[in-house]
Structure 1
Amino acid sequence: MLKPRIGIGFRKWLYTISETTGFSTIDFNKIFNTNFITMKSFIGKKIRSVISSFPNRKESEFTKRIRRRHKIFWEAPNAEVIRNTHMSASDPIEKWMDVENWQRKLSNKHNSREFAKMHGCRVAELYWRGRNVKDIPFDKLPEHYVIRPTIGYSCGMVFVMQKGVNLLDKKPYGIQELQAEMSRAVEENPYLEFLVEEFVRTEKGEYNLPDDYKIYTFNGEIASIRLINRVGVRKGFFGTYDADWNEIEIDNTSYPAGSYQEPPACLEEMVACAKRLSKAYGIFVRIDFYATDKGAVFGEFTPTPTMGYGYTTNASKKYEAYWDKYCAGMI
């Protein structure tokens, strides 16, 4: 019996679901070729389970604002053209801001790197960028490197490679297998490119999955810093801190809470970069960083984190208050 082909739109929908369910896009890839009855049953159970566990069942004002932004940003007919306009750190700010809701350009991960560089923030070294993945010079890459798409979230199509093993799913990948995975993604999206970047080391100089510092910012003001000690795709522990590294109430239940951790040595640099980028970005955005042996390294901008879901009632109220105070009237 022939299996129906899963369309691009349905695949994108699954990726959207992954952002709120906590189920990895890598695992979603495993079910793309199953039959529709099995897939429907699986997804239905997962969504019902997640919805029942939301700490704030009633949709908060913060959630409504994030969903409204997502609709305005990405349902516009020119959304993907804007997101994937090639930009450079040498471009004047006027060129960056030449369209309505120009921040969409920064949801392209190459553009976001350039914007961070433009504002004096450190980024991982770029080894290669493009669509023809057969041109990636694997023979010249170091033993440790990272592959990620210019479009995407939740670690989808991200390979954190250590001597041929992807640390995210703990599986070995040969060059041909990596090329095949990326080629399929490129064929489905005419705008998609891949970046091959430096595998940034920890502050101790080790090649481990880096801790994520997710900073919630509002026009230059920091509301919280969420530290995720990642051990896999959407697996890990986290704590929440303020800009002075005082531990505060957790804001989200995506991961189990971990114990208190000392601040990174580069906290001052990280906070300064986050504030600078946030002020330039203007509207609310989550900005991700890594603490490395070279200092704070910029990761990406996330304008609609988890689609606004999964936040505690107190966190939603706090972020709404910051939005009203520092981003009043902004999308």
Structure 2
Amino acid sequence: MKKIREILTRLKNNNLLLYYIWTEFVRLKGKKALEKYTDLEAVTNMYFAYSRRYPNLKNPTLFSEKMQWLKLYYHNPNMEIAADKYEVRNFIKQKGYANLLNKLIQVFEKVEDIQLDKLPEKFVLKASHGSSWNLIVNNKSKINWFLWKRILKSWLKHNIFWNGREWVYKNSKPRLVCEAYLEDKSGALMDYKFHCFHGKPMFIQANNGRGQKVHAQNFYDLNWKLAPFGKDLTPLPEVNIPKPHCFKEMLKIAKDLAAEFLYVRVDFYEVNKKIIFGELTFFPASGMPDFKPPEYDKIWGDFLILPNKTAKINTDEST
């Protein structure tokens, strides 16, 4: 099943028409699931479909199990604000980091409001209410806007909460955020993802060669020593990803932004030795068990302490 999923993913990522069909399929499947399943049923079904086993929610020990528990039984209202790709800008400003925000060009609530002739040649469009719903435009004249406008419309009609019950997106207002295109003089735009537990950064996920033939996604500890595990992708020790120039400052900011959250992934870009804020993510890959090797699911699970889990597990099954 997982192998088939990987093949289908490669196919739709390399064919825009298939990507549109897949986008609509996921949207309609999610809408149907919302009507058919409770939050508990949807979460456990999704976990089983991914791993062929059900999560232990009565006594969760794995990181992936605790992620599902947090979906069902834990709410921090600021997580909704922080997860929204537009509203998070105010969150960042209130924290005193307005200088880290990428330039905002425009915000659209309808695809029909996008006037391409008034946009720069290069820009990025991202859905404020979802994950990985991004269109990176480095030459707008070479984009298949006939299909992409349909994909954008599908995003606006979708709610990522339907599929994986990530409640932080449930009430998000669907919008398309248009921001400046980021590029580094070196030609290698790097992003660094700080995985934080109880306000403390523990590991940094660094990506090199995204979208290229060799895509390295390595994890490092706070001393920039390569960690012996990966998430979704197996680490590539032979690929040397240098520590960011602004590492100490990133570490300090990540700790500050993560202070009130049990777990959050704080993403940054480094553009010509300048930090640009990316996003805050609470359920990477919807919290599915994707560690390589799998025993790190338990090791990460030990870092995350759930609040009053035995008391809350018997409450209403839906959020």
Q: Same fold (TM over 0.5)?
A: yes
- Residue among 152, 165, 184 paired with 1:182: 152
- The 3 A distance-change label for structure 1 pair 138 and 151 is same
**What residue is the counterpart of 1:128 in the other structure?**
106
- Residue among 71, 90, 94 paired with 1:114: 90
Would you say how many aligned residue pairs link Structure 1 and Structure 2? Answer: 257
2:141 is equivalent to residue 161 of structure 1: no
Question: Which whole-Å CA distance do the structure 1 matches of 2:294 and 2:51 have between them?
Answer: 15
The residue type paired with residue 291 of structure 1 is E
Q: Secondary structure at the match of 1:226?
A: strand
- The 3 A distance-change label for structure 1 pair 150 and 33 is closer
C-alpha displacement of 1:235: 7.7
For 1:299-310, list aligned pairs within 5 A. Answer: 299-306=278-285, 307-310=287-290
For 1:77-156, list aligned pairs within 5 A. Answer: 100-121=76-97, 122-153=100-131, 155-156=132-133
Cα shift readout 1:117-174 (whole Å, capped 9, x = no counterpart): 3223312111011212332342232222111101222x23x11111137xxxxxx414
CA contact (8 A) 2:24 2:154 kept: no
Question: Which whole-Å CA distance do the structure 2 matches of 1:233 and 1:329 have between them?
Answer: 44
Q: Which structure 2 residue ranges, 5 or more long, are not aligned?
A: 26-46, 53-59, 160-171, 313-319
2:256 is equivalent to residue 276 of structure 1: yes
The residue type paired with residue 320 of structure 1 is G
Q: Secondary structure at the match of 1:299?
A: strand
CA contact (8 A) 1:143 1:164 kept: yes
CA contact (8 A) 1:145 1:198 kept: yes
Q: Secondary structure at the match of 1:110?
A: coil
For 1:196-235, list aligned pairs within 5 A. Answer: 196-202=178-184, 204=185, 206=187, 210-232=189-211
- The 3 A distance-change label for structure 1 pair 221 and 100 is closer
**What residue is the counterpart of 1:322 in the other structure?**
303
C-alpha displacement of 1:176: 4.9
Q: Secondary structure at the match of 2:80?
A: helix
Question: Which whole-Å CA distance do the structure 2 matches of 1:255 and 1:173 have between them?
Answer: 32
The runs of 4+ residues in structure 1 deviating greater than 6 Å are 47-50
**What residue is the counterpart of 1:193 in the other structure?**
175
The residue type paired with residue 273 of structure 1 is I
CA contact (8 A) 1:145 1:160 kept: yes
Cα shift readout 1:287-330 (whole Å, capped 9, x = no counterpart): 11111125121111111112141123443233223223xx7658
Question: Which whole-Å CA distance do the structure 1 matches of 2:129 and 2:213 have between them?
Answer: 18
**What residue is the counterpart of 2:274 in the other structure?**
295
Q: Secondary structure at the match of 2:136?
A: strand
- The 3 A distance-change label for structure 1 pair 328 and 198 is same
Q: Which structure 1 residue ranges, 5 or more long, are not aligned?
A: 1-17, 35-46, 53-58, 74-98, 166-171
2:222 is equivalent to residue 243 of structure 1: yes
TM-score (norm 1): 0.65
CA RMSD across the alignment: 3.6
C-alpha displacement of 1:101: 4.1
Q: Secondary structure at the match of 1:30?
A: helix
% identical aligned pairs:
20
Q: Secondary structure at the match of 2:304?
A: helix
**What residue is the counterpart of 2:30 in the other structure?**
none
